[in-house]
Structure 1
Amino acid sequence: MQLPLLPPVEPMLARATTAIPPGLAYEPKWDGYRCLVFRDGDEVVLSSRNGKDLSGYFPEAVQAVRAGTPARCVLDGELVVVNGDRLDFTLLGERVHPSAKRVAELSVRHPASLVFWDLLAEGDELLVERPFTERRRRLELALAEPSERIHVTPLTLDQALAERWFTQFEGAGLDGVVAKPLDQPYRPGERAMFKIKHAREADVVVAGYRLDQASAQPQVSSLQLGLYAADGTLRFVGASSAFATTVRRDLAALLSELDLPADAPHPWADGNPDNGGPRATNRWNSVARQTQLIWPMLVCEVGYDHLEGERFRHTVGFRRWRPDREPASCTFDQLAEVPRFDLAEILGPTG
């Protein structure tokens, strides 16, 4: 591969802010895998944020790059999987599989697409020192032909429109909004952009915990969380794990006093997937085996960005204990319902 920029390259990153800043360029924040694409003729590398080559997991994306991008280029964007009228991060995660046969099957069943927002090199020309406005113009020219799996992300300079995007596009599975300075060069590895994500709170059941297996002193690695469904089942919804070391040790001391008695009526005690616990899907089998259930169960308040199906999309942030709440009162009803939005309206024509 002979390009003016070669993998691995750290992508330019964003730092979180609570409000959309004025006077910048605004794009939707896609919910997928960050992906730098390097193409030199038929040779294509899909490089993850940490430099891992994803090409073998997404053969259909490689073919799309060969069919729909300049013969020699470096692009920055996101790998996503579209399910109906929205993005599906769970299906995207299933695509990274060790079996070549399974990869081939999933590439047909749940094909990935690429959404690009930056052009870092074209031909022998390195563009990283050029202002973002020029790189964006060059990107639009390079990817001018509509394609089923290759897209250019929408962009606006209108802050009011970006505010509407922030609200509407969540219904299509997007994460928020990204804001970029117009005259800025591409700065690999630096947090030189801004990201504005949805922030919400919920009261959840702490049904168990996991210990850090690598620690000599007992300390909690994560709290295992649940919410009650309409049928009365306690569904596993995710974990909270961002704790300082001293807090992890304090949690271990606190929760060890609540280790599950043999006769406790814990809803996850039998390990039956139909009862909503961590064994409900294969992805969480290892979690279930290592989870220490507690009784009585506790309630805490967490911060989260959004729900995907019945699970929090990311690890949630612990806020505080809620001794005033009963576990049975922690239901899905408290979570905000997001109106659906057709993803096709964001991606535009596909050729």
Structure 2
Amino acid sequence: MENDGWRCLAFVRPNGVYLQSRQAKDLTPYFPDVVAAVRESLPPGTVVDGELVVSDTEAGSTMFPALLGRITAGRRLAREAAARPANLVVFDVLADAGDDLTDLPLRQRRSRLENLLAEAPPTLTLCPQTSDVKLARTWFDELGVTGAEGLVVKDLAGVYRVGGRGSSWWKYKRKVTVEAIVGGVTGAIEDPRTLLLGRFDGRGRLRYVAGTVPLALSQRQEIGRVLTAATGVHPWPQPLPVAWIGHLDRREPRQYLQVAPLLVVEIVVDQAYDRGRFRHPVRHLRIRADLAPTDVDPCRPGPH
């Protein structure tokens, strides 16, 4: 199961616990609740791989913005952690009390992990796993409402590969297509590298909702022929603020070229949507010349 959270390695050291993001950033100060649970439950020399999540118990789903809230809480961190406790959903173990397990097949690592977490508190959750294809399909179809983005399929004989999935992991994410309005580009207007997309809110303001992955050459040529440079006041600032982009590892505002918000495109998105934006880069599918910007579904409320 792939959850809607932050990938995290937890290292249990003789002098304390260290939480590390996928980008090798130190997350330890922001999750004292998880640090305490790991320290109390796992022996020194243990390293586990998992995902940090914050759950909305009333809605039965995860709250990704609450993870970002930990980073920006400052002096409010203790209050934020008490109001919205975090969990580490653990799906693999790299070391057990100093014993390196990375060369063991997944089935053996899973057995060791289950033993490690047998008496762990709810803050440390064992990620569900099954070899039943029918059950996995049921999870994929029914658990999207909880914030699960899809399934991760692993080879039970596969060893742990540091720094990447290698050939023994496959991700199946829930995808849909939607429409959005091109409000800006990176690259050149006549040869855009990526598209910056928006949707109108209830007040008629164009809100930034996503950026695309790099376009294929044929897409760049097709879109470049129909874009028009913006004139006058544009609805977005230049550059785009870091807070709009919403990436933990991006610290600089994004420079871009403003275009007249006239072109509607169809994009492929996953369900990671919060604060009025699609959190992950989206994929451009096609131009929707049959639609006007006012035909696009409105943006759900966001902070900017």
* TM-score, scaled relative to structure 2: 0.80
Change (3 A) 1:328 1:38: same
> In 1, Cα distance between the equivalents of 2:54 and 2:104?
31
Instruction: Please identify, of 227-236 and 105-114, the stretch whose mean Cα deviation from structure 2 is larger.
Output: 227-236
Q: Which has the higher contact order (CA 8 A, sep 6+)?
A: 1
Contact in 2 for aligned 1:229/1:331 (Cα 8 Å): no
Contact in 2 for aligned 1:41/1:66 (Cα 8 Å): no
Tell me what 1:164 maps to.
138
1:46 aligns with 2:22: no
Tell me what 1:23 maps to.
none
Deviation at 1:72, TM superposition (A): 3.3
After TM superposition, the structure 1 = structure 2 runs for residues 95-106 of structure 1, keeping only pairs within 5 Å, are 95-97=70-72, 100-106=74-80
> In 2, Cα distance between the equivalents of 1:254 and 1:287?
29
Tell me what 2:66 maps to.
91
> In 1, Cα distance between the equivalents of 2:201 and 2:212?
20
> In 2, Cα distance between the equivalents of 1:72 and 1:289?
41
Matched AA of 2:271: H
Equivalent residue in structure 1 for 2:230, among 244, 260, 269: 260
Deviation at 1:105, TM superposition (A): 4.3
Deviation at 1:327, TM superposition (A): 1.3
Identity fraction in percent: 33
Tell me what 2:197 maps to.
225
Deviation at 1:318, TM superposition (A): 0.9
After TM superposition, the structure 1 = structure 2 runs for residues 205-284 of structure 1, keeping only pairs within 5 Å, are 205-206=181-182, 208-211=183-186, 220=192, 222-228=194-200, 234-243=206-215, 255=227, 258-262=228-232, 268=235, 283=244
The alignment partner of 2:259 has SS state of: strand
After superposition, the CA RMSD in angstroms is: 3.4
Equivalent residue in structure 2 for 1:125, among 78, 83, 99: 99
Contact in 2 for aligned 1:73/1:121 (Cα 8 Å): yes
Equivalent residue in structure 2 for 1:325, among 263, 283, 291: 291
Deviation at 1:75, TM superposition (A): 0.7
Tell me what 2:32 maps to.
59
Tell me what 1:74 maps to.
47
Deviation at 1:41, TM superposition (A): 3.8
Deviation at 1:289, TM superposition (A): 8.9
Unaligned runs of 5+ in 1: 1-27, 272-277, 336-351
Deviations 1:297-316 (A, max 9, x none): 11011111115243223111
Deviation at 1:173, TM superposition (A): 0.6
> In 1, Cα distance between the equivalents of 2:55 and 2:285?
33
> In 2, Cα distance between the equivalents of 1:287 and 1:229?
26
The alignment partner of 2:265 has SS state of: strand
1:194 aligns with 2:194: no
Contact in 1 for aligned 2:181/2:261 (Cα 8 Å): no
Contact in 1 for aligned 2:190/2:224 (Cα 8 Å): yes
Contact in 2 for aligned 1:210/1:290 (Cα 8 Å): no
> In 1, Cα distance between the equivalents of 2:26 and 2:209?
30
Deviation at 1:252, TM superposition (A): 6.5
Matched AA of 2:129: L
The alignment partner of 1:95 has SS state of: helix
The alignment partner of 1:29 has SS state of: coil
Unaligned runs of 5+ in 2: none
Deviation at 1:180, TM superposition (A): 1.1
1:203 aligns with 2:179: yes
Deviations 1:239-285 (A, max 9, x none): 22423589669866753xx23333x8x7x37x7xxxxxx88x95469
Deviation at 1:95, TM superposition (A): 2.3
Deviation at 1:230, TM superposition (A): 6.3
Deviation at 1:46, TM superposition (A): 1.0
Matched AA of 2:63: D
Deviation at 1:87, TM superposition (A): 1.1
Equivalent residue in structure 2 for 1:304, among 269, 272, 278: 269
Deviation at 1:166, TM superposition (A): 0.5
Instruction: Please identify, of 29-38 and 237-246, the stretch whose mean Cα deviation from structure 2 is larger.
Output: 237-246
Contact in 2 for aligned 1:209/1:220 (Cα 8 Å): no
Matched AA of 1:260: A
Deviation at 1:68, TM superposition (A): 2.4
The alignment partner of 2:87 has SS state of: strand
> In 2, Cα distance between the equivalents of 1:69 and 1:317?
41
After TM superposition, the structure 1 = structure 2 runs for residues 326-341 of structure 1, keeping only pairs within 5 Å, are 326-332=292-298
The alignment partner of 2:136 has SS state of: helix
Deviation at 1:319, TM superposition (A): 1.3
The alignment partner of 1:94 has SS state of: helix
The alignment partner of 2:209 has SS state of: strand
Change (3 A) 1:118 1:287: closer
Matched AA of 1:294: V
Deviations 1:205-234 (A, max 9, x none): 22x11445xx9x996464232234567654
Tell me what 1:114 maps to.
88
